[in-house]
Amino acid sequence: MLKSLRRVLSVALAALMIVTLFGACAKDNAKAPGETGTAEPNGNKTGTKTIHIMGPESSNPYVKFAERDRYNSWKEFEKLFQEKGLTPEFEIVATDQYQTTLQTRMAAGVDLPDFLNVSQLDDSTILNYVDMGTILPVNKIIDEHSDGTAKEFFSTDGKGARSNVLNTAEDGNVYWISQIQATTYDDKPGSTNMGISVRKDWLDKLKLEVPKTTDDFYNMLKAFQDQDANGNGQPDEVLAFDPAGFTNGIAQWFGLVTDITSFVIEDGKVVSPWYQPGIKDYFKYLNKLASDGLMDTSLIGLTTADQLDQTIAQNKAGAIFTYCMQTWYEPSTGDPDAAYLPIGPLKGTDAAEPVNAIEPPFLSYNRWAFTKECKDLDAAGALLDILCSDKYMELTQWGIEGETYEVVNGEKKLLPIALNAGWEQAGKEGKAIGDSLWANGSMFPKRRFVPMENEISVVPDYKAEYQRQVIDYHPTTPLGNSNYFPVPTKEQVERRLELITDLTTQSKQLATQLILGQASLDDWDAHIESLKNLGLDEILEIDQSLLSRYKETIKD
Partner 1 sequence: MSIKRKFGAGDVVIYLVMLFVCFITLYPMYYVFILSISDPVAAAGMKVYFWPKGLYFRAYSVLATDGRMWRAYGYTIFYVISNTVLVILTSITCAYPLTSKKLVGRKFVVAFLLIPMYFGGGLIPSFLLISKLGLYNTVWALIIPSCFNIWYIILTRTFFAGIPESLRESARIDGANNFSILARIYVPLSKPILAVVGIYTIVNVWNSWFPSMVYQPDTAIQPLQMYLRRVLIEQTVDLTKLTQAEAEAMARLKLSNNQLKYSMIIFTTLPVIFTYPFFQKYFVKGVMLGSLKG
Partner 2 sequence: MKPINNKIEGKSGGNSELSRRKRKSGLVRENMELYAIMLPTLILIFIFCYIPIYGLLIAFQDYSPGMPFLSFSGNIKWVGLKHFTRFITGPFFNRIMWNTILLSFYNLLFGFWLPIIFALLLNEVRSLRFKKFTQTASYLPYFISAVVVAGMVLSFVRTDGLANNIVAALGGTRKAFNTDPKAFPAIYTITNVWKSFGFNSILYLSAITAIDPTLYESAYLDGATRFQSMWHITLPSIKPTIAIMLIMAVGSLLASNTDLILLLYSPATYPTADVIGTYVYRLGIQGGQFSYTTAIGLLASVINFIMVFAANKASDKIAGYSLW
Q: Would you tell me which residues interact with partner 2 (CB under 8 A)?
A: 1, 3-4, 103, 106-107, 109, 121-125, 128-129, 132, 134, 234, 236, 244, 296-304, 306-307, 310, 316, 493-494, 497-498, 500-502, 504-506, 508-509, 511-513, 516, 518, 533-534
Q: Does 375 bind partner 1 (CB under 8 A)?
A: no
Residue 327 contact, options partner 2, partner 1, none, Cβ 5-8 Å cut-off depending on partner type? partner 1
Query: Residues 6 or more apart from 161 whose CB is under 8 A from it?
Result: 154, 155
Is 126 a binding residue for partner 1 by CB under 8 A? The answer is: no
* Contact between 142 and 150 (Cβ < 8 Å): yes
Exposed, middle or buried by CB within 10 Å (0-12, 13-18, 19+), for 293? Answer: middle
Phi, psi angle pair for 169, to nearest 5° = -80, 175
C-beta separation of 487 from 166 below 8 A: yes
Q: Please identify which residue in 51, 53, 80, 93 interacts with partner 1, judged by CB under 8 A.
A: 93
Give me the torsion for CA of 190, 192, 196, 200, rounded to 10°: 110
Asked whether position 7 contacts partner 1 by CB under 8 A, the answer is yes
Q: Is 13 in the site for partner 1 (CB under 8 A)?
A: no
Determine if 29 is a binding residue for partner 1 (CB under 8 A): yes
296 binds, among partner 2, partner 1, none (CB under 5 to 8 A by kind): partner 2
- 17 contacts partner 1 (rule: CB under 8 A): no
CA nearest neighbour of 496 among 432, 449, 547, 540: 540
Could you give the 3-state DSSP secondary structure of residue 82? Answer: helix
Q: Is 1 helix (H, G, I), strand (E, B) or coil?
A: coil
305 binds partner 1 (CB under 8 A): yes
User: Quick check: helix, strand or coil at residue 395?
Assistant: helix
Minimum distance between the CB of residue 523 and partner 1, rounded to whole angstroms?
Answer: 32
β partners of residue 231? none
Q: How many CB atoms neighbour CB 19 within 10 A?
A: 10
Would you count residue 22 as binding partner 1 (CB under 8 A)?
A: yes
| 36: contact with partner 1 by CB under 8 A | yes
Question: Using the rule CB under 8 A, which residue among 67, 76, 152, 455 binds partner 1?
Answer: 455
Instruction: Quickly list H helices, 174-213.
Output: 200-205
Read off the DSSP letter of residue 340. E
Residue 114 contact among partner 2, partner 1, none, beta carbon within 5 to 8 Å by kind: none
Q: Which does 425 bind (CB under 5 to 8 A by kind): partner 1, partner 2, none?
A: none
CA dihedral 342, 348, 351, 354 (to 10 degrees): 0
- Minimal CA–CA distance to 311: which of 295, 327, 328? 295
Choose the one of partner 2, partner 1, none that binds residue 534, judging by a C-beta under 5 to 8 angstroms depending on kind: partner 2
Q: Which one of partner 1, partner 2, none is in contact with 244 (Cβ closer than 5 to 8 A by kind)?
A: partner 2
Work out which of 44, 45, 47, 110 binds partner 1, going by CB under 8 A: 110
Whether 62 and 423 have beta carbons less than 8 Å apart is answered as: yes
What is the C-alpha separation between 370 and 53, in angstroms, rounded? Answer: 9
User: According to the binding rule CB under 8 A, does residue 125 interact with partner 1?
Assistant: no
Judged by CB under 8 A, which stretch of 5-13, 492-500, 501-509, 540-548 contacts partner 1?
5-13
Q: Which of 177, 180, 182, 363 binds partner 1 (CB under 8 A)?
A: 363
List the end-to-end C-alpha distance of the chain, in Å, as a whole number.
88
Q: Are 484 and 549 in contact (CB under 8 A)?
A: no
234 binds partner 1 (CB under 8 A): no
CB of 108 to partner 1, least distance (A): 5
Strand-pair partners of 184: 189, 451
Task: Tell me which residues touch partner 1 (CB under 8 A).
Answer: 1, 3-5, 7-8, 12, 15, 18-19, 22-23, 26-27, 29-30, 32, 35-36, 59, 61, 91, 93-97, 100-101, 104, 107-108, 110-111, 181, 192, 305, 309-310, 313-315, 323, 325-329, 331-334, 359, 363, 419-421, 423, 450, 455
